[in-house]
Homo-oligomer: A and B are copies of this chain.
């Protein structure tokens, strides 16, 4: 291991209704599915004050992604290849995923969330409060996604990234 490497370890597990990618929503806004984020009990105290936020950002390991990450991918929303870093595809050089989800409740070391779009048993790496003042730019252009004929709320994943 070089000094540049960083080894991360799960702080808990994300439970969701999705046991396989097939049929999973491709983004949190595409679903009202509920999930349960269970932190290891040792981290319970760190969840204080989180329930006062409407949303949080889950940072997790795309644990089912194969190790190779092609630099051009065909996203679920397009039939053209796009640069990997212009997509949210799970196969990435560092397979770290982010999802903004709504907080339903926080109990002990557990967060119940709505709008989950990750696989069941996904290893959780971090939880951050979603802060409108930090995380919402004044105006946003969504690049190739704007041109997509597909409705991101309706499109479902398949097995292309396994």
Q: How far is the CA of A116 from the CA of B126 in the complex (A)?
A: 21
A74 to chain B, nearest CB (A): 12
Q: Does residue A95 face the partner (Cβ distance < 8 Å to B)?
A: yes
Give the interface of A toward B (CB within 8 A): 1-2, 4-11, 27-29, 43, 45-50, 52-57, 59, 61, 71-72, 82-88, 92-96, 98, 100, 102, 123, 125-137, 139-145, 152
Interface SS of A by simple majority? mixed
Inter-chain CA distance A127–B87, complex, in Å, is 9
- Within the complex, the shortest CB–CB distance from A104 to chain B, in Å, comes to 13
Contacts A7-B7, A10-B4, A88-B128 known; A134 to B100 CB distance under 8 Å?
Answer: yes
Q: A95, A140, A144 — which one has the most chain B CB atoms within 10 A of its CB?
A: A140
Report the separation of the CA atoms of residues A55 and B46 in the bound assembly, to the nearest whole angstrom. 30
User: How far is A45 from B85 in the complex, measured between Cα atoms in Å?
Assistant: 9
**Selected contact of A129 from candidates B1, B88, B92, CB within 8 Å:** B88
